[in-house]
Amino acid sequence: MGNPSPNRPSDPPPSTTTAAAAPKKSHPLGLLDSVASSTRSLLTAARRSPVTTLVAAFFLLALFMYGEDVRTIAELSIDDYLYPDADVYNVSGLPPLVLPPPSCDLSRGRWVFDNTSLPAYREKECTFLTAQVTCLANGRPDDRWQYWKWQPSNCSLPTFDARRFMEAMRGKRLMFVGDSLNRNQWESLVCLVQPILSKGRKKVVKRGSLTIFHAKEYRATLEFYWAPFLVESNSDNPKIHSIEHRIIRAERIEGHAKYWRDVDYLIFNTYIWWMNTADMKVRRPNSRYWSEHDEVPRIEAYGRVFKTWSNWLDDNVDPARTSVFFMTISPLHISPDKWGNPNGIKCVKETLPYLNYTEPLDLNHDMRIFDLVAKVSRSMKRVPVTLIDITKMSDYRKDAHTSLYSIRQGKLLTPKQKAEPDKFADCIHWCLPGVPDVWNEILYTRILSKSSHSPPSPSLPLPPK
């Protein structure tokens, strides 16, 4: 992965059409002028009529609640004004991209140390990172985890090219759906692309379970939607989900899925939240209360969820427009005896990957879930699902977790908490830059492979409120 220049805004590539040929645009500030004019008219009328006063109150309340949406609409209009030929940018200046053949297994290979082209970005230069993954800022004393690239055994993995990727995203929506590991990957992708975007033309908007990164020059969004079980559950609040007894509704998905409609690239995951107990609490169909549930073996519950998920895809996704991906198991490293360090504590103080490629590293994954995901993905005919296998490559990276350099309940670990690493070390999430950057290189490769054979999709609709 090349090391981009993070602070230099990129000029738009030269247009292939003349300004005269571009469609006529309305003034970009017209929307805001219209809102202001309507507000003044309502306030004037309100003085004369109690009914109008009530209407005016509702109008102003809506403007307050959805002010972010109004600003977003106005800003997209400004983008159309500033970049009237955005849909016909000349990208012929980009070098040819050599993609690996579809038959090449990108999940098999080895980690190679590379302190020349890595990291792909610097932690302090990506202002969109959350404190959960900024390990250097949180006090981690080493930085070697950032300098390992993945080398597949039988082909080459293309370096992530932010300009080329964003050209493929122009006018489109990409959405990660799942748990905090998919959020980890979403943050990585935002950091990979943000250096090529001009200052002031990129921002993050949060709306409940949905977090949206706007790349305004491209009229594109990179989004993350919180749904740790994919289906509805009692843990769906993105801020309050530390619930002792987590209960899922295996046949209910529409409460989440309504936000996934009309997305061009959907990337799903769900695994780690299934691993707390051998049996899952599943609310009975048509029940009125969460207390009305059954204890179901994990793999049976997972199968019911995947049936609901795959049926929704078949019924609601247009494969001519939307590409669907599924990320496999992201490992947790809590058993140092597995990698020959019986005196270790989880992933604490690990500074090198596991580099013995002759002996598999068994981390006790529930491979029944892996196999079920693979089987369902292969069976999807109307809506193809591309499996992104990150499991084995990530197994080796015992060194790359946030460990003691993360946050707990919104705060950095205290010295007292760090003195109890067996209890507080986070060996699930990953420091950034780091391993999720490689996951995104593979995703990038698969998306570019698809887009090189696909017609352009319709223009980007605004993300849902």
Catalytic residues: 180, 426, 429
CA atoms of 278 and 160, how far apart (whole Å): 39
First to last CA, the chain: 35
Ranges of H-type helices in 228-346 = 254-257, 298-316
Burial (0-12, 13-18, 19+ Cβ within 10 Å), 106: buried
CA atoms of 5 and 11, how far apart (whole Å): 13
Structural contact between residues 187 and 128, judged by C-beta atoms closer than 8 angstroms? yes
- Listed as own residue / partner, the contacts of 295-300 with beta carbons closer than 8 Å and 24 or more positions apart are 298/274, 298/366, 298/369, 299/366, 299/368, 299/369, 299/372
Q: How many CB atoms lie within 10 A of CB 60?
A: 14
Residue 244 identity: E
How far from chain centre, in Å, is Cα 362? 27
Measured over the CA atoms of residue 146, residue 152, residue 155 and residue 161, the dihedral's sign is negative
Residue 11 identity: D
Structural contact between residues 130 and 206, judged by C-beta atoms closer than 8 angstroms? no
The neighbouring-strand residues paired with 450 are: none
Structural contact between residues 153 and 393, judged by C-beta atoms closer than 8 angstroms? no
169: closest CA among 436, 457, 439?
457
Of all helices (H) and strands (E), which one includes residue 424?
Answer: helix 421-424
Radius of gyration, CA atoms only, the chain: 24
